[in-house]
Structure formats: C-alpha cells, structure tokens
C-alpha cells in the first residue's frame, strides 16, 4: 500500500472559537487584512468578533471587502496591491469559498511579482502571506485545501491555482456564523460539500485514508437531509455540516476533484449557476456513466448515501435543487469541449470521452 497525505492547516472548531483564539491570532503579526465579501462577514457577526479580538490584542487591520462570487483575476490583484500598500503581516479570510480562495491568491500576489497572463502557469515560490480562514458556509472546505479557484475569462471557465504554500495556517470553525444563511445558500453549499466527498471517493487518487474521511462526511451530510429540505437546521446541525465540509476539503486536498467540477464550471461561468448547484445537477448522471463503464466502487458510494441507484440519487438531489435549467445542443457542444480540456478530467477512474461528457449534460437537463 502506498499513501500520501498532507494537511498542514491547524483546525480549531467550537462555539465562540474566534474569541477563544486571541493568543493564536496575536502570533501572526501586528497588522491584518480582512478579506471578505461586501456584507456577509458583517451580517453573520464574524467580522465583529475578529476585529474585537484584534483590538484586544493591540493589532491593527484593514478591510478588503471587494470579493465577489467567483472572484476574478482583477479582484485578487487589487487585494494584493492593498495588502502591500497597507503593510499587512497576514490575512484573515471570512466568508464562503470566494473570500477564502481570493485570500490565497492575494497572499501569493502580495509577496510575488506575477503578471496576470502568467498567473495560471503555476510558476511561483513558497513565499506567501500567512493566512487565517474563517468559513461562514459549509460547502467548499477551502479552509483546508491548497486550491484557489478563480474566474479565468481567457479560458471562459474557472481555473485553479494550486500549491502547498496556499494552505491556510489556521482555520477557525463555528456553526453559529451560518444561522442567517438563506435556504438556497445552505442547500447549494451542502451539495457542494457532498460533491467533494463523492468525487473524492471516485477519484483515481483516492486511498483508504481519504475514503475514511469521505464516508464520515457523507453520513453527516445525508443524515441532515430533512433539515436541509425543510430549512429547519439547528446550530448543532450546522456544526455537523461545517465539519463535513472541512472533511471534504481535506479529502480533495489529496484526491482532487473529477469531471463533475470540470463540467460544472461552465454552468457557473456562462449561466451564473451557483457552484454547488452546478455540481449537484451533474452528479447523478456522472455516477451512471461510471457504472456503465464498470466502475463498481460507485455502488459503494451510493450505498453510503442510502441509495441503490443513480436514479435514486437524482431524485434525492432534485428534491433539494428544484426545477432544472434547460440546455441547448450548442451549449452541450461548447461546454463539453471546454470540460474535456480540464486537468481534473484525468482524476476520473475511467477515461471519459468528450461524447460521454456531452451525454452527462444531455441527460442531466432532459435532452436525452
């Protein structure tokens, strides 16, 4: 047996964990830059908790709150310029996947001169600003991954930066920050987390350690299905989902994602579909293709979710996601042509063709 597992992020989870981590935050430096969206970090109370601790520690801070959903290259360069101008010693990312991913790119660009046209070439060193991540949704697990996913207009998709230097130094998890999330955001982020662990188990890079974490996360997410459906999750249930999301991040940090993510990126880029929803719309048909190609581990993943077929999985997802969008033949051709070029296609346990990807799109949206 040959296994490699690397997760350098310190994870601390519990109620009021931000307030209880004053000493840890003090060790990062004198001046912080908070990386957030325009309002989410304020609304959930996380930003106030962070600044209260920084003030108590005698640390100063500046706020970069310009991160949009699916952050752009221009956004992270603007954040890096502010971090340099303000002399930030470290970054604190507060929010969902977008602020956390943006913070990683900002941490890199604040220390290294990289032209925008060279950003996705991966030619950078390990010199980055230290980072603290505080997730306020339970979906991406970005607080424990080495990936920063950015909108790549040149390729008309989303593209990742990746490297061990992009792991956060410290992740602080508290489900209380998710109590004000909308039903749609709660569902879409939970489905995102589920896609990570399902794809992680179905990745060619899966190993017994990642499967163990993925199975635990699957049980926790599916175990809260009724609360997700009815929008009645308690703070303890949100803790469960947040923990499962973190496990999902730890899984894909080792295994990467598969065709589901590659295909979902076009739905997000061209339609504006939320990332988690995009993955959820495609997962069941992806599982069906793997079964048709004889990949029997797919049945094990379905059993963990309490399902006996991809059709049952689709029904389970449809109850959460609601009515599906429509797709055209031209979009199927365009999206599958983009997806087949993505790096994570190679993580699939069988070699998928462009035609098979097109078939997943067609069946997922009722064209076949």
Q: Report CA Rg, the chain.
A: 20
Q: What pLDDT does residue 3 have?
A: 86
C-alpha span between 137 and 124 (Å, rounded): 30
Q: What is the pTM of this model?
A: 0.96
User: What is the per-residue pLDDT across 314-348, written as a single tens digit (0 to 9) for each?
Assistant: 999 999 999 999 999 999 999 999 999 999 999 99
Question: For residue 215, what is the DSSP state?
Answer: H
The Cα-based distances of 139 to 187, 241, 307, 339 in angstroms read 9, 8, 22, 22
Helix (H, G, I), strand (E, B) or coil at 180: coil
Round the average pLDDT of the chain to a whole number and report it.
Answer: 97
Could you give the dihedral angle defined by the CA atoms of residues 101, 240, 316 and 188, in that order, rounded to the nearest 10 degrees? Answer: -30
Q: What pLDDT does residue 39 have?
A: 81
The edge-to-edge listing of strands for the beta sheet with 31-35 is: 10-13, 170-173, 131-135, 90-95, 31-35, 60-64
Question: For residue 121, what is the DSSP state?
Answer: G
Closest of 193, 116, 146, 137 to residue 8, by C-alpha: 146
- Are 367 and 336 in contact by the 8 Å Cβ rule? The answer is no
Q: Which residues contact 351 (CB under 8 A, 6 or more apart)?
A: none
What are the residue ranges in the chain where pLDDT is below 50?
A: none
Helix (H, G, I), strand (E, B) or coil at 363: helix
Tokens of 347: 């993580």
Classify residue 58 as exposed, middle or buried by CB count within 10 Å of its CB (0-12, 13-18, 19+): exposed
DSSP track, 221-275: HHHTHHHHHHT---HHHHHHHHHHHHHHHHHHHHH---HHHHHHHHHHHHH---H
C-alpha span between 205 and 256 (Å, rounded): 8
C-alpha span between 346 and 3 (Å, rounded): 19
- Are 222 and 305 in contact by the 8 Å Cβ rule? The answer is yes
283: phi then psi, degrees, rounded to nearest 5? -60, -45
295: phi then psi, degrees, rounded to nearest 5? -90, 95
Domains of the chain: 10-177 (3.40.50.1970), 183-364 (1.20.1090.10)
Looking at the chain, how many residues does it have?
Answer: 368
Tokens of 246: 């973190």
User: Over the range 32-47, which residues count as b (16 or more CB within 10 Å of their CB) and which as e?
Assistant: bbbbbbeebbeebbbb
């Amino acid at each position: 047996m040959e296994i490699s597992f690397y997760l350098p992020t310190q994870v601390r989870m519990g109620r009021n964990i931000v307030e209880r981590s004053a000493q840890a935050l003090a060790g990062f430096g004198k001046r912080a830059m908070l990386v957030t969206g325009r309002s989410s970090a304020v609304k959930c109370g996380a930003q106030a908790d962070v600044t209260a601790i920084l003030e108590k520690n005698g640390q100063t801070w500046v706020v970069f709150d310009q991160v949009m959903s699916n952050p752009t290259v221009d956004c992270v360069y603007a954040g890096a310029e502010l971090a340099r101008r303000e002399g930030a010693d470290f970054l604190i990312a507060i929010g969902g996947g977008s602020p956390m991913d943006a913070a990683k790119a900002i941490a890199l660009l604040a220390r290294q001169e990289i032209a925008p046209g060279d950003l996705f070439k991966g030619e950078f060193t390990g010199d980055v600003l230290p980072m603290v991540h505080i997730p306020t949704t339970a979906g991406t697990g970005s607080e424990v991954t080495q990936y920063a996913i950015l909108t790549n207009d040149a390729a008309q998709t989303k593209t990742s930066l990746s490297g061990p230097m992009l792991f956060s130094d410290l992740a602080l998890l508290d489900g209380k920050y998710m109590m004000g999330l909308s039903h749609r955001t709660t569902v879409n982020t939970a489905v995102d987390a589920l896609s990570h662990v399902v794809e992680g188990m179905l990745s060619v890079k899966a190993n017994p350690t990642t499967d163990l974490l993925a199975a635990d996360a699957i049980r926790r997410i599916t175990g809260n299905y009724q609360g997700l459906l009815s929008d009645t999750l308690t703070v303890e249930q949100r803790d469960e989902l947040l923990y499962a999301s973190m496990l999902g991040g730890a899984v894909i940090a080792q295994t990467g994602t598969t065709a589901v993510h590659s295909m979902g990126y076009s739905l997000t880029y061209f339609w504006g579909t939320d990332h988690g929803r995009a993955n959820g719309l495609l997962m069941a048909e992806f599982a069906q293709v793997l079964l048709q190609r004889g990949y029997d581990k797919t049945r094990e993943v379905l059993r963990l979710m309490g399902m006996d077929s991809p059709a049952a999985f689709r029904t389970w997802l449809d109850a959460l996601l609601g009515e599906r969008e429509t797709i055209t033949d031209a979009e199927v051709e365009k999206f599958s042509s983009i997806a087949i070029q993505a790096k994570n296609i190679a993580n699939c346990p069988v070699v998928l063709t462009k035609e098979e990807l097109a078939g997943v799109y067609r069946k997922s949206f009722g064209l076949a």
